[in-house]
A and B are shown apart, each in its own frame.
Chain A
Amino acid sequence: DAGVTQSPTHLIKTRGQHVTLRCSPISGHKSVSWYQQVLGQGPQFIFQYYEKEERGRGNFPDRFSARQFPNYSSELNVNALLLGDSALYLCASNGRGRTTYNSPLHFGNGTRLTVT
Chain B
Amino acid sequence: KQEVTQIPAALSVPEGENLVLNCSFTDSAIYNLQWFRQDPGKGLTSLLLIQSSQREQTSGRLNASLDKSSGRSTLYIAASQPGDSATYLCAGAYNNAGNMLTFGGGTRLMVKP
What's the interface size class on B, roughly? Answer: 20 to 34
Q: How far is the CB of A48 from chain B (nearest CB, A)?
A: 5
- Contact indicator per residue, chain B 77-93, by CB within 8 Å of chain A (1) or not (0): 00000000000010101
Could you say which residues of chain A place their CB within 8 Å of the CB of B45? 107
The yes or no answer to B49 lying at the interface (CB within 8 A) is yes
Whether A45 lies near B102 (C-beta < 8 A) is: yes
Whether A43 lies near B44 (C-beta < 8 A) is: yes
Count of A residues near B, CB < 8 Å? Answer: 32
Could you say which residues of chain B place their CB within 8 Å of the CB of A108? 43
Whether A101 lies near B101 (C-beta < 8 A) is: no
**For chain B, what secondary structure do more than half of its interface residues adopt (helix, strand, loop), or is it mixed?**
strand
Total cross-chain contacts (CB, 8 A): 86
Binds B, one of A61-69, A71-79, A87-95: A87-95
In the complex, A115 Cα to B45 Cα: how many Å? 27
Whether A105 lies near B89 (C-beta < 8 A) is: no
Whether B43 lies near A105 (C-beta < 8 A) is: no
Q: A90-B44, A105-B46 are in contact. Are A45 and B96 (CB under 8 A)?
A: no
Contact surface of B with A, Cβ cutoff 8 Å: 4, 6, 31-32, 34, 36, 41-46, 49, 51, 89, 91, 93, 95-106
